[in-house]
Amino acid sequence: GENVEQHPSTLSVQEGDSAVIKCTYSDSASNYFPWYKQELGKGPQLIIDIRSNVGEKKDQRIAVTLNKTAKHFSLHITETQPEDSAVYFCAASIIQGAQKLVFGQGTRLTINP
Amino acid sequence: NAGVMQNPRHLVRRRGQEARLRCSPVKGHSHVYWYRQLPEEGLKFMVYLQKENIIDESGMPKERFSAEFPKEGPSILRIQQVVRGDSAAYFCASSPARDTQYFGPGTRLTVL
């Protein structure tokens, strides 16, 4: 079955700097890769997703890149702000197929003022 | 637009009791998923349901756990004879089709 590895497990950056979180997946059939942000005591919130037919997607300060050949995808947050502090999870699934999301272990991002 | 709703938000049970967790999907969504999250870990898939049907229960323990999504009403995750190892946050997600999943706030189950 699918296995998703996420790095780093913790990340601390200065406010205004960029943050990058990386994930690798094992199942070449996976074709949908969402990223979720989870704040303390809350449910995961979808922040951006990418499908395997595109290599990059941007939404304001957030971008995701996908390398299907290497089976890895990354989350990029630019101009970080204190409210970006949270735990971020990557996931992989097969749209129209198995459907279930397989999550990475999470990255605790801390933005230092 | 109401998002995914889950109740109760917090549930305390003693060992051997039953836990019932409820999930109301986004209006119009007919696909429901349940995930479990242990402290400091990622979410693990448990079960995927459509109205009145279990599509994939490969992540759900064979004993004591069951799930349903009736024609009317919320989806229910039921845990019988709870043990301390069942203590976790249980999240429900919904989607309008086989697509993007939107999560609820979760139910935090504590077994004493």
Nearest to A43 among B58, B91, B98 (CB): B91
Among A95, A100, A103, pick the best mutation site for testing chain B contact (most B Cβ within 10 A): A100
- The answer on pLDDT for B39 being more than 90 is no
What was the pLDDT predicted at B102? 94
Q: Across the interface, do B98 and A106 touch by the CB < 8 Å criterion?
A: no
Q: Considering CB atoms only, which of A97, A100, A104 is closest to B42?
A: A104
Minimal C-alpha gap between B91 and chain A (Å): 7
Q: Is residue B1's pLDDT more than 80?
A: no
Partnered with residue A14 across adjacent β-strands are A112
Helices (H), A1-113: none
Which pLDDT does position B2 carry in this prediction? 72
The average pLDDT across A47-63 equals 93
**Mean pLDDT for the stretch of residues B66-94:** 96
Q: How many CB pairs under 8 A join A and B?
A: 57
Q: Catalogue the long-range contacts made by A83-88 (C-beta closer than 8 Å, 24 or more residues apart).
A: A84/A19, A84/A109, A84/A111, A85/A109, A85/A110, A85/A111, A86/A37, A86/A38, A86/A39, A87/A37, A87/A38, A87/A39, A88/A21, A88/A35, A88/A36, A88/A37, A88/A38, A88/A47
CB contact under 8 A, B42 and A101: no
Q: What's chain B's average pLDDT? A: 94
What residues of chain A lie within 8 A of the CB of B6, using their CB? 43
Task: Return the residue of B nearest to A33 by Cα.
Answer: B100
Question: What pLDDT band is residue B32 in, cutting at 50, 70 and 90?
Answer: very high
pLDDT at A72 over 90: yes
Write out pLDDT tens, residues A26-45. 999 999 999 999 999 899 99
- Write out chain A residues lying below 8 Å of B31, CB-based: 99
Q: What is the mean pLDDT of chain A?
A: 94
Lowest mean pLDDT among A7-11, B14-18, B75-79, B98-102: B98-102
